[in-house]
Chain A
Amino acid sequence: GESVGLHLPTLSVQEGDNSIINCAYSNSASDYFIWYKQESGKGPQFIIDIRSNMDKRQGQRVTVLLNKTVKHLSLQIAATQPGDSAVYFCAEETSYDKVIFGPGTSLSVIP
């Protein structure tokens, strides 16, 4: 069936270090992937996306990598800041027009 999962449920990093959040997906037909950030008490916010015809996309301090061979997605955050502390979700848009979310990774930045 369709599913998106994360390898690490929690992640603690020192301020200034780089963070890497991983995600595995199971639907090889999915063609669009998104990372969202959710702060406590708020709705998810878009961070960055990538289409299946790409393997890397960069934004401001964030990079998403897509490895279709092993169906793996990662989010890299450079120079992690306290404001980056949140739960991060990967999501995939399946061939059935559904956007399915993974369980989330809680990122905690240590000052």
Chain B
Amino acid sequence: NAGVTQTPKFQVLKTGQSMTLQCAQDMNHEYMSWYRQDPGMGLRLIHYSVGAGITDQGEVPNGYNVSRSTTEDFPLRLLSAAPSQTSVYFCASSFRLNTEAFFGQGTRLTVV
């Protein structure tokens, strides 16, 4: 059972470049979310989804887009990377609301 898989693990981007961070889960979870974690800080919610076809904004959604075309996948897109988006990104999933979340191993993104 793979759980939550994030790719890539590391990425360096130039300012203005675009990229997609991939997240997949094989637990048939309805709820998925993306967080960013900056040094010495907690996790801040970027976007979340309560099911396929449904997404909503979290605390810090600017500069990021998401879609949820399937239950399994929840990609995070950076349309025009900025140095302020340098961070570690975590994807999480849970069976439904009010249940524990399972996290991926994270993607460390550096924007130069």
* A32 and B98 within 8 A (CB): yes
* A43 and B105 within 8 A (CB): yes
A-B contact count (CB 8 A): 53
Does A51 make an interface contact (CB < 8 A)? yes
Does A93 make an interface contact (CB < 8 A)? yes
* B101 and A34 within 8 A (CB): yes
* B45 and A89 within 8 A (CB): no
**Given A32-B98, A46-B100, A98 contacting B48 (CB threshold 8 A):** yes
One digit per residue, 1 when the CB lies within 8 angstroms of any chain B CB and 0 when it does not, for chain A 19-54 equals: 000000000000110100000001111100101000
Does B33 make an interface contact (CB < 8 A)? yes
Interface size on A, residues (CB 8 A): 20
Stretch with Cβ within 8 A of A (4 or more), from B12-20, B36-44, B70-78: B36-44
User: How many B residues are at the interface, by size bracket?
Assistant: 20 to 34
**Given A32-B98, A46-B101, A100 contacting B59 (CB threshold 8 A):** yes
* B43 and A89 within 8 A (CB): yes
Bound CA–CA A99/B105 (angstroms): 18
Does B26 make an interface contact (CB < 8 A)? no
Listed from nearest, the 4 A-B pairs whose CB atoms lie closest are A43-B103, A46-B100, A101-B43, A103-B42
Does more than half of chain A's interface fall in helix, strand or loop, or is it mixed? strand
In the complex, which of the residues B45, B92, B102 contacts A98, with contact meaning CB atoms closer than 8 Å?
Answer: B45
Which residues of chain B come closer than 8 Å to A44, judged between CB atoms? 43, 90, 92, 101, 103
* B90 and A43 within 8 A (CB): yes
**Given A97-B56, A98-B48, A99-B33, A89 contacting B101 (CB threshold 8 A):** no
In the complex, which of the residues A49, A98, A102 contacts B100, with contact meaning CB atoms closer than 8 Å?
Answer: A49
